[in-house]
Structures are given as C-alpha cells and as structure tokens.
Structure 1
Amino acid sequence: MPKINVYLPDELAEQVKDVGVPVSAVCQRALEQAVKRIAAVRAVRLDDPDSLELAARTSRVTDRVRAVLRLATERARAAGTTEVGTGHLLGGVLDEGGNLAVRVLQVLEVEPGRVAAALPAGTGGGAVPTAFGADAAAALELSVVEAVTLGHNYVGCEHLLLGVLAEPDGAGGEVLRGLGVEPRAARNAVAAALAGYAHLHANAAAAPDPTAVVTAVVQRELRPLVERLERLERG
C-alpha cells in the first residue's frame, strides 16, 4: 500500500502521540471525504442544474454558497465569458450580501464596496457559462480543503472566501490581496467569527444585535494578532 507523508506542527504531533490517535485511519477517512467532495466540484457543468445540485449535496455546500454560485454564473454571463472565474465567485459573494464572508471582510476593515469596485467590469451579455475556469475550480477545491482543515463538515461562504484568497492566479484573489487581505488574518477572522456565532447562539436571549455580537467577538480574538503585527512594524 502506498505511503503519504503527513507533516504536523510540533505541538500537534506531541498531542497526537500522547493521546494515541490512529493517524493512518483518521487521515485516510479525511482524505476519502476530501477526494469525494473535490471530485464532485470538478464534475460540475453549470448548464446542467442536476450536475450543480449533485455537486452541492456531495460537497456539502450551504444554501448561501449555492446562491453565490448562481450569482457568479450570472456575472460571468453578463461579462460575456464562457467560464466562471474567481472574480465572478467573489462578486457572487458580494451580491448575496448576507453571508459570513462579507462580515469577515468588514472585520478586516475592507469594505465590500471597495472590493466590488476593484473587480473587473462586465462587457456585455452572452450565453450561460458551462464550466468553472481553472482558477475558480481551484478556489472551490481550496474551499473544501479550508473547511476540512477547520474541522467543518460543510462549505460556507467564509470557506469560499478563503479559497478565492488562496488561489494564486485568479482575479478574485488578486483583488483581495491588493486590498490588504492576508490569508492568515482572514483564516483567523473566520475562526473567530464562527466562535462569535457559537457564543451568540449560547446567549441568544441576551443578544439583540447579532452582527454587533459577532463583530465584537471577532475583534477581540484578532486583537492580539493586530498588536503583534504593529509591534513588528515598529521594529
């Protein structure tokens, strides 16, 4: 049976040894799930609703991500392109508007309006795109990886944002990085935001403003990171 090396941070490696986690079995199961979900993304044909629905179920994307994919397809059609790119995916996230990815951008002090203005403009209508471009397909695959890495059994808009940001060649990631969005800070913001939602659900009766609660928790979780960066910049 072929071997695949798995590299772990020192602290995690020690914890795995102490607890006696069956690394091979755990990794095999995780890889099986990741392969299945990524293969479903690669098989999508955007002009076939059944294909998109099957991929959505297999990859466990949320309803908001499904909406984003439809909106991204509309953006690509309006731009007259035959494929959906990461710029269209990012635009779809902004068009959907009510998702966690938009909140994360705001917490990182990147206004969605600035992101929208930096995206390439459309050139006119065209036929419905049939497939994801190489950059968008890679971003969707990276979204699955981000979800698995964070221990989540679903793919949300927050994971899609991280996937677009991590993909090196597409317009979406280029726009985000150009506006100062860094992968590590974005990932920390996503984790903190999800912690904020957990806190919110645990204290729903005393939380009249959900957005304020989430923002406050995220900013609290990110404060040590921001302070360290500021100290490094000051030398």
Structure 2
Amino acid sequence: MFERFTGPARQAVTRAQGEARALGSDRIGAEHLLLAILSDPGDPVAVLLARSGVDHAAARADVGRRAAGTVDGPALAAIGVDLAAVREAVESAFGEGALERRPPAERAPRRRPAFSPGARKVLELALREAIRLHQKEIATGHLLLGVLRAGEGPALDVLAAHGVDPAALRRDVEAGLGSSGGRAA
C-alpha cells in the first residue's frame, strides 16, 4: 500500500513515528499522524487546518496533555484519597520524582513504535478515500480524510477541542484534493 503514497504522505507517516517518540508513546496513533501532517507548514492540508484554527504547536500540546492525563486532586480528596500521602508513599518506596514523567531523552532507547489499531485503521481508510475519489495516489489529504472517517479517537478529540467542524473540513479537503488531482493535498 505504501507504494501508492505521495512523497509528502510518506514523509508524514515517517514523521508520525517521531511525534510518537517525542511524546513518549510506544505506539503511533492517529493523533501522531495528525501531528505529522501539521508539522509541515507548507503542506496544503496543514495550511487548511491552520485556517480552521489548528496548528502544530497547539495540537501537540493538546495531545501531550491528553497522553499525560490529569489528576483531579479535589475529586480524589472527596472520595478519601490524600494525593500528597500517595506521592510520599510512592517516593519513599521508589525514590524522589518516581511519579514525574521524564523527558524522552532521559528514557532508555526503545524499539521503533508500532502503529496502533487506530492508526492502521486511518491508513486503511485513507486508501479507501483515495479509491472513493478515483485517485491513484494517497496524499496527506487522504490521511486527514481517514482520520475524519474513523469517527472517533484522540485525533478527532484534538480537532473538536479546537472547534473544527468535521463535515466542513471534509468538504474543504475533498475540494483541495479535487483541484490538485490528489497529488499535493
């Protein structure tokens, strides 16, 4: 299937691996594919996303926050969990800073991240979108259409958090793919 990918789409898939690693993930998710598309500000799809209010830095911060999760101290206290006591117990057993996320550079090297089921689904849906649009190549626009067609997941959550209307974005991406013959977008 990758032989059908345009150069920019291949580069996006490759950059998704770097995005996953940079965020400390051992799996490449659809959200990393979205970040990889956004990381090339010259890509027509990234330009379209920027016009919709989504840029790489904001989306990356959002993905990072979602991956890290948040601790709601007051909610835990309401059910009798003393967060400070938990932290103290963990640090006394495992050392100071045991609960802190270490930057990726401080972690032991890992094997190459594998594609999550969600990312594999997006890649398959990108192929289906290219076929549906009667285009021979899979471009970054098709990757984004695959994200949109997946219908759920962290990548769509990021788009929703930035106020993106998926139906409008789909129309805009399809229009861009139609005007470029599927090559550039």
TM-score range, shorter chain: 0.5 to 0.7
| Distance in 1 separating the partners of 2:110 and 2:42 | 28
Contact 1:82 1:130 in 2 (8 A): yes
Distance 1:145 1:68 in 2: 18
**Structure 1 alignment gaps of length 5 or more:** 1-54, 199-235
Matches of residues 1-235 of structure 1 in structure 2 within 5 Å? Answer: 55-57=1-3, 60-120=4-64, 123-125=103-105, 126-197=109-180
RMSD, aligned CA = 2.5
TM-aligned CA distance change 1:182 to 1:166, over 3 Å:
farther
Shift of 1:110: 4.0
Q: Which deviations, in whole Å up to 9, do the C-alpha atoms of 1:12-67 show, x marking residues without a partner? A: xxxxxxxxxxxxxxxxxxxxxxxxxxxxxxxxxxxxxxxxxxx411xx01111111
Which of 1 and 2 has higher RCO (CA within 8 Å, sep 6+)? 2
Q: Does the CA-based 8 Å contact 2:53-2:162 persist in structure 1?
A: no
Q: Percentage identity across aligned positions?
A: 31
Alpha-carbon distance in structure 1 between the residues aligned to 2:113 and 2:177: 33
Query: 1:185: how far off?
Result: 1.2
Tell me the distance in 1 between the aligned counterparts of 2:57 and 2:19.
16
Counterparts in 2 of 1:109 and 1:179: CA distance versus 1, 3 Å = closer
SS state of the match for residue 120, structure 1? helix
Match of 1:215 in 2: none
1:83-110 deviations in Å (ceiling 9; x for gaps): 1011111111112332221122134354
Cα drift, residue 157 of structure 1: 0.6
TM-score by length of 2: 0.66
Given that residues 166 and 173 in structure 1 are in contact (C-alpha distance below 8 angstroms), is that contact kept between their aligned partners in structure 2?
no
Aligned-pair distance for 1:160? 0.7
Superposed displacement of residue 111, structure 1:
4.4
Distance in 1 between the 2:58 and 2:120 partners?
Answer: 25
Superposition TM-score, scaled by structure 1 size: 0.53
CA separation of 1:107/1:135 partners in 2, compared to 1, >3 Å: closer, same or farther?
same
